[in-house]
Amino acid sequence: MPDPYRIWLSEVMLQQTTVAAVKDYFLKFTTLWPTVQDLAAAEDADVMAAWAGLGYYARARNLLKCARVVAAEYMGVFPSDRDSLQTLPGIGPYTSAAISAIAFDLPETVLDGNVERVMARIHAIETPLPTAKPELMALAQALTPLKRAGDYAQAVMDLGATICTPKNPVCGICPWRDGCEGHATGIAPELPRKLAKKAKPTRRGIAYVLRNSNGDWLLETRPEKGLLGGMLGWPGSDWSEAPVAAPPVSTGWEAAGMEVRHTFTHFHLILEVMTARADIDPDIGKFVPHHAFRPSDLPTVMRKVFDVAKHRFE
């Protein structure tokens, strides 16, 4: 039987993230923490550092919360039914269905982006997403078998990932080609249709990069709630149209000469990078010894800040 812990971990990592991006992270996590009890006992900072760069950091916070609930309340054994799974932190309808079907072979319907695309094309559904989601779920449920539901779920997801791809689907080798209404009518590559997205706004911010005479770096752990919650980062301003923030210490700050640009799900961000050297106790954050500082522990946008700022200290 597949390991529910590994199924859960992979499904959480794969939320809004590609297999290629997840592979190395999955291997790292399962090496460092091979069981859910191991993960539950891990230090928060170690888990957040191991997750750095994968994005959507609320997933990492919920990962720890969920592991600790499973370890403490379920004796390290994941429940098999969807209702119980959905009471766990960070597990919603999709993830609970995936765990139930793949790990426990229960007849639950797994509907991810790949399956939505396959259903939309097979049935030539022209209603745009996300409006079409309930209709696509009903069609997917009608095809879900009572036996080997986990194998079926993975097969349909793989079909969407490798053959019924978003662009240039390989209809010539598709096992469902003959019954596909989208292929028969010639509109398969256009499906699923999607509502037009609103343009992303642009926000600005300031990041302060400070070193002391020992070469230590001033960092802070961001508040648990909000973007990059619980992650290490550089002290800075809010991210808005007109950001305001007092620097962590009063000293001679200088602009690094280059802005950092990063795109989140809902907005673009432009950060001004300020640098300084000073041996002053900060109002915000704490100094991390230079030998313990690893840029890889930072989320992507904070690593970009480091890449811009580090040249000022060479």
Concerning whether 224 is annotated as a catalytic residue, the answer is no
79 and 8 in contact (C-beta within 8 Å)? no
Tokens, residue 138:
């009903």
Q: Which amino acid, 189?
A: P
Any long-range contacts for 65-73 (C-beta under 8 Å, 24+ apart)? 65/89, 65/90, 66/8, 66/90, 66/91, 67/36, 67/37, 67/39, 67/40, 68/40, 70/36, 70/40, 71/36, 71/37, 71/40, 71/41, 72/40
Of 11, 108, 116, 272, the active-site residue reads 11
Phi-psi region of 31 (alpha: psi -120 to 50; beta: other; left: phi over 0): alpha
263 and 200 in contact (C-beta within 8 Å)? yes
Helix axes 4-13, 58-73, angle to 10 degrees: 160
Q: What residues are labeled active site?
A: 11
